[in-house]
Structure 1
Amino acid sequence: MATAELVAASGSGGADSSSTAAFMETYGKLKKELLEDHASEFTDESSLQWIDRMMDYNVLGGKCNRGLSVVDSYKILKGVDVLGHEDAFLACTLGWCIEWLQAYILVHDDIMDNSQTRRGKPCWFRVPQVGLIAVNDGIILRSHISRILQRHFKGKPYYIDLIDLFNEAEFKVSLGQLDLITTHDDEKDLRKYNVANHRCISQYKASYYSCYLPVACALLVAGENLDNFGDVKNILFEIGIYYQIQIGTDIQEYKCSWLVVQALEHADENQKRILFENYGKSDPVCVAKVKDLYKELNLEEVFREYESESYNRLIVDIKAQPNKAVQNVLKSFLHKIYKRDK
């Protein structure tokens, strides 16, 4: 694909155009390398065509916010508006490793959730002739990350730290997927849903790889030791919990969402009965009853109060960071997620 086509396919037109163009050019280079890597193992052209199509279908199509955050964070840490060629390539490459991780996660997540669509098109496993071959395709996408890191970062002083970082991200997401245990028809019990469980699931499913991982990658490339940034990790975890709240109510899928946890906290016994009878059902009437209850409990106002309190608390924590560049990285991330003016 040409760069313009890649930009369109990625859906990241809202980012800075020069950064996006460089990012997309890097995707083309990495994909070419991976296909050549596979070509050493396969003589069957159809296998390479499958992997080519599979990469474009699953890695592209999102906004690339996670990947571009590596580039943005690294620029801030370096104190420059434009990165040199080598620095830009390394930052973009790590950004794409996160996008590859996201693709791997989503391919498997859609199978487990039995989802229909992803990013406005059928989930990969629902594409004709794919089916559960998608399980192996997800594994291939995950293995690509290791191949990319080995090719471009082996020999760097932080190479092992990167390996550990991506392994930890995969582990955290896998733990977060345990929320599926509470969604089985014979296991459904809203009494298991509470603030503590929601925080734990959000931290594992979103905070680590969506918020912490991009900044951690940038810190490593900038020559920093992640052991010195425990407070930064905690701040990004909190930002990630807010991010997870924003991305859906998950009524039909019986997910442990922030809204249902708050509803359980604020509801009287009669209102809880409505939740128990209707939450987790795909029937539009049941979904409407749950949404009506959310309105009755004024959860929009509850959310606004939470948003304001968490934002103000995070600003205080960020200002307490001794490293000014890291402060600026965190502020940038905070404003992207909370959509506030800087």
Structure 2
Amino acid sequence: MDDAKLRRGKPCWHTLPGIGLNAINDGLLLDCSIDWVIREAIPQHPHQATILQTLYETKRKTVIGQMLDSDSVDLDLYTWERYNQIVEHKTSHYTYYCPLALGCYLADNICYMTEVQRFAYKIGRLFQAQDDFLDVFGDETVTGKSSTDLADRKCSWVVCRTLDKIRSDSNKLKEFKENFGQSDESRIRIAKRIICEAEVEKDFKDFQQKLAQELYRDADNFIIQELCTVLRNAIDSLYDRKK
């Protein structure tokens, strides 16, 4: 949807010869297969219906998240509340809550799903903030993704933090608004310069360290003891990642 050319180090599916808009139907074909695969794999599982419902809800929230992400174009409406809504729907629910919930249902452990969701949404905020940071400051040859957030006017952690720091400077804010969300590479460089001058890179590193420490404490004291190691490993895989 953002017309990116690179994803996970490979050309995006829609860019391949003969694919184009057919990628939409290919995605729907994969989506339609999920229900069938689950029914075939666990036909007698007592929580099969709950598992299918969890996946339906995950797809619904993700579609809403993508809509919120795509419709966020007015800088005056870029707030942390809006950003957190996008992260919850576009990232946290499917990246962390859904896998953890499915694991619990498969293991017939369904007592503490509120606590599972709370942790999943919190680690999802770290994951998305890192993605936002790497889009601006990362190396595409390492991240394996095209850098598009500034040109696409994305309501990201980097942009929200930048606005926090320049809103009181009318000239700086005007310059940022004039150059943010433009396809011209020279104007994107100006927007990035303003971000760097606001020391957003340092702010992110402080944010990442503080949130990771909170997550480690939450993982060590998690109410489902069997998940403690899993949660710590998830944090380990994220902390200070480069891709």
TM range, smaller chain: 0.7 to 0.9
* Pair 1:151–1:194, CA change in 2 (3 A): same
Q: CA deviation at 1:339?
A: 4.8
Instruction: Name the residue aligned to 2:82.
Output: 197
Shift of 1:282: 2.1
Count of matched residue positions in the alignment of Structure 1 and Structure 2: 223
What RMSD over aligned residues (CA atoms) do the two structures have, in Å? 1.8
In 2: Cα distance, 1:162 partner to 1:323 partner: 19
The alignment partner of 2:59 has SS state of: helix
1:33-61 residue CA offsets vs partner (Å, 9 max, x unmatched): xxxxxxxxxxxxxxxxxxxxxxxxxxxxx
Contact 2:79 2:160 in 1 (8 A): yes
Question: Which structure carries more relative contact order (alpha carbon 8 Å, separation 6+)?
Answer: 2
Please tell me whether residue 245 in structure 1 is matched to residue 143 in structure 2.
no
Identity of aligned residues (%): 29
Q: Which amino acid aligns with 1:137?
A: D
Shift of 1:210: 1.1
Q: CA contact under 8 A between 2:78 and 2:160: conserved in structure 1?
A: yes
Shift of 1:124: 2.3
Q: Partners of 2:29 and 2:18 in 1: how far apart? A: 17
Q: Please list every run of 5 or more consecutive structure 2 residues that lacks an aligned counterpart in the other structure.
A: 137-148
Paired residue for 2:71?
181
- Partners of 1:255 and 1:154 lie apart in 2 by 42
2:235 equivalent in structure 1: 334
For residue 209 of structure 1, the aligned residue among 62, 74, 94 is: 94
Is 1:116–2:5 an aligned residue pair? yes
Structure 1: tracts of 5 or more residues without a match: 1-111, 183-187
What TM-score do the two structures reach when normalised by structure 2?
Answer: 0.85
Look up the match of 1:218: 103
**Superposition pairs of residues 82-93 of structure 1, within 5 angstroms:** none
Partner of 1:321, secondary structure, is coil
The structure with more radius of gyration: 1
Of 47, 51, 54, which aligns to 1:165? 54
Q: Structure 1 residues 319 and 118 mapped into 2: Cα distance closer, same or farther (>3 Å)?
A: closer
Q: Secondary structure at the match of 1:115?
A: coil
Q: CA deviation at 1:259?
A: 0.4
**Would the aligned equivalents of 2:14 and 2:23 in 1 still touch at CA under 8 Å?**
yes
Aligned residue type for 1:244 = Q
Q: Shift of residue 116 of structure 1? A: 3.0
What secondary structure sits across from 1:113 in the alignment? coil
Instruction: Give 1:173 deviation, angstroms.
Output: 0.7
Q: 1:148 aligns with which of 37, 40, 47?
A: 37
- In 1, the alpha carbon distance for the partners of 2:124 and 2:173 equals 28
Q: Structure 2 counterpart of 1:310, which letter?
A: L
1:265 to 164, 170, 174: 164
Deviation at 1:314, TM superposition (A): 2.0
**8 A contact 1:239–1:337 mirrored in 2:** no
1:211 deviates by: 1.4
Structure 1 stretches of 4+ with a deviation exceeding 6 A read none
CA contact (8 A) 2:100 2:116 kept: no
Residue identity in the other structure for 2:160: V
Match of 1:138 in 2: 27
Q: CA deviation at 1:255?
A: 0.6
Give the one of 211, 216, 236 matched to 2:120. Answer: 236
Q: Distance in 1 between matches of 2:224 and 2:71?
A: 41
- Aligned residue for 1:131, secondary structure, equals coil
Q: Which amino acid aligns with 2:212?
A: Y
Q: Deviations over 1:100-126 (max 9, x none)?
A: xxxxxxxxxxxx323333334443233
Contact 2:47 2:106 in 1 (8 A): yes
Q: Deviations over 1:152-209 (max 9, x none)?
A: 1121111111101111110111011112123xxxxx4201111111111111111111
* Aligned equivalent of 1:315: 216
**Which shows bigger deviation, 243-252 or 142-151?**
243-252
Match of 2:140 in 1: none
Could you tell me whether the CA contact under 8 Å between 2:101 and 2:116 is conserved in 1? no
Q: Distance in 2 between matches of 1:171 and 1:136?
A: 18
2:204 matched to which residue of 1?
A: 303
